[in-house]
């Protein structure tokens, strides 16, 4: 009887741990841009990002091209608040036509974080305006 209970409890614990593990690793909607740099040819941009939440880290990103814009979705590490595999710096390829870069924000869609001045060719952070 004790052996059956131990086996059942072990299975339950494994299932719970598996579900917790599988429920993480999804798209993050709380990533913000800390800093960015361009290479000399303006073909590659390095993004340094952070997360607003105190729980979780970024492990990967996916970049989609939409016209002259880049749409970036960041993904969480697996496990709750697991630092293994986490990164805060990512390189993205830029083509000459790129003029805006957006980060995924969940249900709100994408938020513009960088834009290129087409006259000077310089990139700058988009400052969020708050109204009271």
Q: How many CA atoms lie within 13 A of 39 on its CB side?
A: 12
| pLDDT band, very low/low/confident/very high, at 132 (cuts 50, 70, 90) | very low
| Residue position matching structure tokens 């087409």 | 118
**Are the C-beta atoms of 103 and 111 separated by less than 8 Å?**
yes
89-107 pLDDT per residue, tens? 999 998 888 899 999 998 8
110-122 pLDDT per residue, tens? 999 999 998 888 9
Percent of the residues in the chain that have a pLDDT greater than 90, as a whole number: 36
Alpha-carbon torsion (45, 116, 74, 58), positive or negative: positive
6-47 pLDDT per residue, tens? 888 999 898 877 766 655 568 888 899 999 999 888 789 999
């Amino acid at each position: 009887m004790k052996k059956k209970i131990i086996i059942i409890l072990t299975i339950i614990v494994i299932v719970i741990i598996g579900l917790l593990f599988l429920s993480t690793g999804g798209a993050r909607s709380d990533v913000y841009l800390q800093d960015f740099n361009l290479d000399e040819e303006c073909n590659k941009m390095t993004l340094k990002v952070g997360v607003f939440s105190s729980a979780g880290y970024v492990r990967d990103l996916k970049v989609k091209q939409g016209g002259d814009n880049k749409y970036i979705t960041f993904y969480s590490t697996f496990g709750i608040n697991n630092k293994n595999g986490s990164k805060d710096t990512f390189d993205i390829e830029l083509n000459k036509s790129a003029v805006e870069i957006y980060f995924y924000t969940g249900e709100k869609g994408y938020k513009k974080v960088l834009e290129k001045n087409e006259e000077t060719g310089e990139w700058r952070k988009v400052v969020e305006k708050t109204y009271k």
